[in-house]
Structure 1
Amino acid sequence: MDLFGPPEREPAPKPASDQVVRLEVLVTVKAAPNPSEKYGETVCVAGVSTDLRRPGWVRLYPINFRELSSDENFRKYDVISVDATPARQDQRRESWRPRMTSMVRLRHLEPWKHRRAWLDQYVEDSMCRLNQDARIDANAKSLSLVRPREVGGLTIKPHPGWTPDEQRRIDAYVSQLDLFSGQDRTPLAAPRFKAAYRYRCHDQMCNGHQQGLIDWEFVALQRRLRHLTDGEIRRQLEDKFVRLMCDPSRDVAFYVGNQAKRAHVFSVLGVYYPKG
């Protein structure tokens, strides 16, 4: 069931003014946290609008998950309402700056059939076309849900650690005194592993895609399993992100998003895997 028909191929332009807009969003993506000098860690959240007057993809950034109270925190497939303004330093049309003090969690969508009513209409077959469009126009669609023709697997490698610039941000954050608690700030630790999906889309000329996986769940699972050996963690990551999520019995699609500064570079932000 389509709630508001097939979405437009191109995202709607941002409003011309910086007036605050109240957005209602079905959260589908929580990207892995990145070091931030101001917040310690920032997270990018994305999803689709549940406002029938304004359908389409929405990106919310920056979000400081570290300082959200437990009753304000939210998870994938929650519907949230939040005040936001257009992100002017980000050319991507879907990008908004949220005012997190205004955020309200409205409801959680469960099970898959309720999610599919909103999301199946957003599924596309060609990652190749998304790449091509982004190379031609930096303002082209920057978020999508792509159905692979075949999944070749997940390449898991040791994480190299933070870059010098990322480490500088962490050091600057930790060095600041927390005026409210009087305690030192805890630095964001790099995950033990990074990963990339290998897959082919349905484009007839597709030679295959290899895209980094930057899903919050991939990092969070590693943290929960930190007491295990590298080999045991690898097996559990593969169990979840390949054997469970990409099982042939599921209608698999990848949430993908590009980089603001390199519009043609897309990553896998998460996996959509309802039962077929």
Structure 2
Amino acid sequence: MRARILVKAYPQPSHKYEETVCVAAASEDGREMLRLYPVRYRHLSKDRQFERFDLIEMDAGRPRDDHRPESRHVDEDSIRIVGHGRDLSDAAKVRLWKPFIAPSLKALHEDNKIASRSFGIVKPDPGSMQFFHKPVRQTSEQEQALSSSLFQQNALFQDPLKPLDKPEYSFGYRFTSGGHAHTHLVHDWEVQAAYFAYRKRYGDKALNMLQQEYGERIPTRNPHFIMGTMKAHPQTFIVIGILRSGLDPADLDRQAGLF
């Protein structure tokens, strides 16, 4: 099967797979939003480490132990990049994810109850987004030791992974959707990578620079949240990533109507 990548979440330790990344994608025919796993992204060779909007080809099927309709179990050794997102126009990128926009987060929850929908895209009400950060909650020594060992394990005949920088902060948004207030952390790999890059470049000013990007600039670029449920909590939605564009999806409809 083929799919266009929308976002990948921050790597999580896994007893079974060492470290996995949850990937949100859209099927090539544009009919389905897909959850691809288990993807040990950092184990993939460089020529197979996909980016946003890349078109990938892979062997994948419905998992036996995950009843969420969008979930697909992937043979990561079969992943191959067959098209690059950089070749798509902004309009083509927006058309890719526009069909999966829910009227509101509340409506997405209703779809989850009725049809077990576990993936969707939500537009925050204009002017409602408030970016925040807070220190990562301290874990017990036992949990820290387990996490460290899982991140540093390496599979037989594979090079060991370089330990990831441990997140210092959790980042999120307070926003309204359909007039209802919500608070969600953002689990996108991108926001953590941005913080570490800013910390290296700006030092103590890293959080201020991140606030400018995520608190001021992104809210002006038609932001939409990719939201999905967790396997252990199939009715709880979290923010997996943020889509944004200089184009408003609603404008594409209006432009199409002119012709």
Instruction: Answer yes or no: same fold by TM over 0.5.
Output: yes
Q: CA RMSD in A?
A: 2.5
CA distance in 1, matches of 2:202, 2:2: 42
**Residue among 3, 24, 35 paired with 2:2:** 24
Q: What corresponds to 2:108 in structure 1?
A: 130
CA distance in 2, matches of 1:230, 1:91: 45
**Structure 1 or 2: more helix by fraction:** 2
- Relative distance call for 1:172 and 1:273 in structure 2 (3 A) is closer
Alpha-carbon displacement from aligned partner over 1:1-23 (angstroms, at most 9, x marks no partner):
xxxxxxxxxxxxxxxxxxxxxx2
The alignment partner of 2:83 has SS state of strand
Q: What corresponds to 1:5 in structure 2?
A: none
> How many residues matched?
243
CA distance in 1, matches of 2:34, 2:155: 32
Residues 84-233 of structure 1 aligned to structure 2 (within 5 Å):
84-109=60-85, 110-134=88-112, 136=113, 140-150=116-126, 151-161=128-138, 164-165=142-143, 167-172=145-150, 174=152, 176=153, 179-180=156-157, 186-202=162-178, 206-227=179-200, 231-233=204-206
Percent of paired sites with the same residue: 27
Q: What corresponds to 1:36 in structure 2?
A: 14
| 1:39 and 1:66 in contact (8 A); partners too | no
Opposite residue 51 of structure 2, the aligned amino acid is: R
CA distance in 2, matches of 1:43, 1:79: 17
Q: For structure 1, which segment, 219-228 or 89-98, has the greater mean C-alpha deviation from structure 2 after superposition?
A: 219-228
Q: What corresponds to 2:252 in structure 1?
A: none
CA distance in 1, matches of 2:119, 2:26: 10
Normalising by structure 2, what TM-score?
A: 0.83
**Residue among 233, 237, 241 paired with 1:266:** 237
Q: What corresponds to 1:56 in structure 2?
A: 32
CA distance in 1, matches of 2:206, 2:6: 25
Q: What corresponds to 1:6 in structure 2?
A: none
Normalising by structure 1, what TM-score?
A: 0.78
| Structure 1 residue 240, shift from structure 2 partner | 2.1
| Structure 1 residue 107, shift from structure 2 partner | 1.1
Structure 1: gaps (5+ residues) = 1-22
| 1:178 and 1:185 in contact (8 A); partners too | no
- Relative distance call for 1:62 and 1:207 in structure 2 (3 A) is same
CA distance in 2, matches of 1:35, 1:147: 30
- Relative distance call for 1:192 and 1:129 in structure 2 (3 A) is same
- Relative distance call for 1:259 and 1:160 in structure 2 (3 A) is same
Q: What corresponds to 1:238 in structure 2?
A: 211
**Residue among 58, 65, 75 paired with 1:82:** 58
- Relative distance call for 1:177 and 1:57 in structure 2 (3 A) is closer
